[in-house]
Amino acid sequence: MAVPKKRTGHSAQGHRRSNWKATKPELTKCPNCGAAVLTHTVCTACGTYKGQPVSLKDRKEEAVAEAKPAKKSSKKAEVKEEAKVEEKVSETSAPAEETKVEEVKSEAVEVKEEAAAEETSETEEK
């Protein structure tokens, strides 16, 4: 094994290391989500490469999105539903139709209560 005769000085060591420079990595924007991504790599945010889904993460998200029905919005959606029901009530004048409207209202209330119960159970699980 080679052993140096003399110790290398600080100046000589610095001159030798003067060309050790760090370079910035090349970044591009993901065409799918717009996140900064290293070139020629899969996007870590959405899991796509050149606009095509590649990773299992992205495929799982697509499957979950297809499987789950869209959740109802918060209070705004409920207000809109109530307004629609009230419009139907005002349009109808026959007593038989009024009972149908009351049934629709009661079903809407039950759906709201179920949604609220689901939300509270989800928050308790977290």
What is the model's pTM? 0.33
Which residue in the block uniquely carries the two structure tokens 């699980």? 125
Task: Reply yes or no on whether the pLDDT at 120 is more than 80.
Answer: no
Per-residue pLDDT tens digits for 69-114: 555 556 777 777 777 777 766 665 555 555 666 777 777 778 778 7
Position 32 scores a pLDDT of 86
Cα distances from 8 to residues 2, 18, 19, 20, in angstroms, run 14, 15, 17, 18
Task: Reply yes or no on whether the pLDDT at 61 is more than 70.
Answer: no
Residues in Cβ contact with 38 at an 8 Å cutoff, skipping those fewer than 6 apart: 25, 26, 27, 28
- Residue 107 belongs to a domain: yes
Position 5 scores a pLDDT of 92
- Residue 18 belongs to a domain: no
Nearest to 100 by CA among 91, 78, 112: 91
- Same domain for 54 and 87, yes or no, is no
- Residue 19 belongs to a domain: no
Contact at 8 Å (CB) between 53 and 47?
A: yes
The residue segments making up the domain with residue 39 are 26-67
- Same domain for 63 and 79, yes or no, is no
- Residue 5 belongs to a domain: no
- Same domain for 84 and 47, yes or no, is no
Total of domains in the chain: 2
Cα distance between residue 29 and residue 89, in whole Å? 53
Per-residue pLDDT tens digits for 7-33: 999 999 999 999 998 999 999 999 888
Position 92 scores a pLDDT of 58
